[in-house]
Amino acid sequence: MKKYTGLDDITDLQELIAEARALKANPYAYEHLGKRKRLVMLFFNSSLRTRLSTEKAASNLGMDVTVMNFNSDAWKLEFEDGTVMNADTSEHVKEAAKVISQYGDVIAVRAFPTLTDKAKDESEYVISNFVKYATVPVVNMESATAHPLQALADAITITELSQKKRPKVVLSWAPHPKALPHAVANSFIGMMQKMDVELTVTHPKGYELSDATMKDTPVVYDQDEALKDADFVYVKNWSNYENYGKVLATVDSHSSWTITDEKLGNAKFMHCLPVRRNVIVADEVLDGKQSVVIEQANNRTFSAQVVLKKILENLN
Ligand code: CP
C-alpha cells in the first residue's frame, strides 16, 4: 500500500480485514517493522478515537509518533497556488509537506470540510495537497469527504459480529443540532458496497447524499420500513448535501428519527462516536447489550495498524 486516503487504496478488502483481525489477536507480532520509523500525525480538527487509536497502532508496530495540532501549534498554512501571502497565512503547504517528510516516514492528516464551499471540500484541498507535495505516504484520519479508517474499523466489526453470510445493514440518518460532514456516511456506504451485505440507507427527504456515494444503493424514506429485519443499524447525522452544509429543520422536529430500543429491534447498534445521547440515540440503546460502539472504537486500532503495516512493508 502506497497511501491510504480513500477506499480505492484497498486492493483486497477481505485480506485486509483478515490481517487486521490477526493483528488484533497478536498486536505485537510486527513490533520490529516500524523500528526507527516515525508517524507524524497532523490534526486540523479535534479527535479522541482517531488520535489515540492511531498512536497505539503505530506504537504496536514499533514506530515513534509525533502529534501536532496544526491550528494551535503550527504556522497557518496556505493551500492556494500563486497567492501573494501578505495576509494571515505564513507558510505554504508546498514547503510544509516537504519539510514534514524530512521528519516523518508516514504522515497522517485530519482536516474536516468547510461545509460552506462544496467545490473546495470536494477537491479535498488539504489532504490532496499533502499527497501532492509530501515525499512520504499519507494516511487519511478523516478528510472533507471521507473517513476510511473508520469505515475499515466498521467493516472489521461487522465481519466479527455477523451471524449471517449476507447481513442486512441499514445506515440511518438521525437528528443533530449542528451541521455535520458527510465523510463518515460516504465512507461507510462505500465500504458496505464492497462487502457482501444487503445495504439500505434511510433519511428524511432532502438529506440525499451525492450520486457518487450512493451509486445504486437503495434509499427508503420511511425509517421504520427501512429498519425492518435489520442485523446492523449504523446511525449517523449528516448535513444537507444539495443545500450544502445546511440543517433543514430543528432537532425537535426530527425527534422521531432518534434511535430507540423499539426501532432497533434485534439489530446491533453502530455509531462511530462521539454521539449525542438522547438526540441521535436513546440512553437505553447505548447502555444496552445490542450496542457495539465500544467494539467499533476498539477496532479503530487494528484498522490503523493494518494500514500502517501495509505502508511500512512497502517502504522496507
Ligand atoms: N470516530 C472518530 O473519528 O472519533 P474521533 O473524532 O474522536 O477521532
**pTM of this structure:** 0.98
> pLDDT digits over 114-152, tens only?
999 999 999 999 999 999 999 999 999 999 999 999 999
pLDDT by residue, tens only, the chain of 316 residues: 999 999 999 999 999 999 999 999 999 999 999 999 999 999 999 999 999 999 999 999 999 999 999 999 999 999 999 999 999 999 999 999 999 999 999 999 999 999 999 999 999 999 999 999 999 999 999 999 999 999 999 999 999 999 999 999 999 999 999 999 999 999 999 999 999 999 999 999 999 999 999 999 999 999 999 999 999 999 999 999 999 999 988 888 889 999 999 999 999 999 999 999 999 999 999 999 999 999 999 999 999 999 999 999 999 5
Does 69 sit in the ligand 1 pocket, CB within 6 Å?
no
* Residue % of the chain over a pLDDT of 70: 100
Does 142 sit in the ligand 1 pocket, CB within 6 Å?
yes
Q: Whose CA is nearest to atom 4 of ligand 1?
A: 49
Q: What is the pLDDT of residue 251?
A: 83
Does 129 sit in the ligand 1 pocket, CB within 6 Å?
no
82 C-alpha to ligand 1 centroid (Å): 34
Q: How far apart are the first and last CA of the chain?
A: 12
Of all atoms in ligand 1, which is nearest to the CA of residue 51?
Answer: 8
Q: Whose CA is nearest to atom 1 of ligand 1?
A: 272
76 C-alpha to ligand 1 centroid (Å): 23
- Identity of the amino acid at 261: D
Beta strand 38-43 pairing with 106-110:
parallel
- Ligand 1 pocket: which of 45, 48, 150, 178 to mutate (most atoms <8 Å of CB)? 48
Q: What is the pLDDT of residue 309?
A: 98
Does 272 sit in the ligand 1 pocket, CB within 6 Å?
yes
Tell whether 36 is in a known binding site. Answer: no
CA distance linking residue 14 with residue 257, whole number of Å = 33
Tell whether 182 is in a known binding site. Answer: no
Does 55 sit in the ligand 1 pocket, CB within 6 Å?
no
Does 150 sit in the ligand 1 pocket, CB within 6 Å?
yes
CA distance linking residue 245 with residue 181, whole number of Å = 8
Does 50 sit in the ligand 1 pocket, CB within 6 Å?
yes
Of all atoms in ligand 1, which is nearest to the CA of residue 149?
Answer: 3
Q: What is the pLDDT of residue 253?
A: 87
Closest-CA residue to 184 (of 203, 159, 209): 209
Q: What is the pLDDT of residue 316?
A: 59
Tell whether 75 is in a known binding site. Answer: yes
Domains of the chain: 3-147+300-313 (3.40.50.1370), 150-296 (3.40.50.1370)
Neighbour count for residue 74 (Cβ, 10 Å): 15
41 C-alpha to ligand 1 centroid (Å): 14
CA distance linking residue 188 with residue 172, whole number of Å = 11
Tell whether 19 is in a known binding site. Answer: no
Give the H or E element holding residue 170.
strand 168-173
Q: What is the pLDDT of residue 250?
A: 83
Interface confidence: ipTM more than 0.90: yes
Tell whether 47 is in a known binding site. Answer: yes
**Cell reading at 69:** 495540532
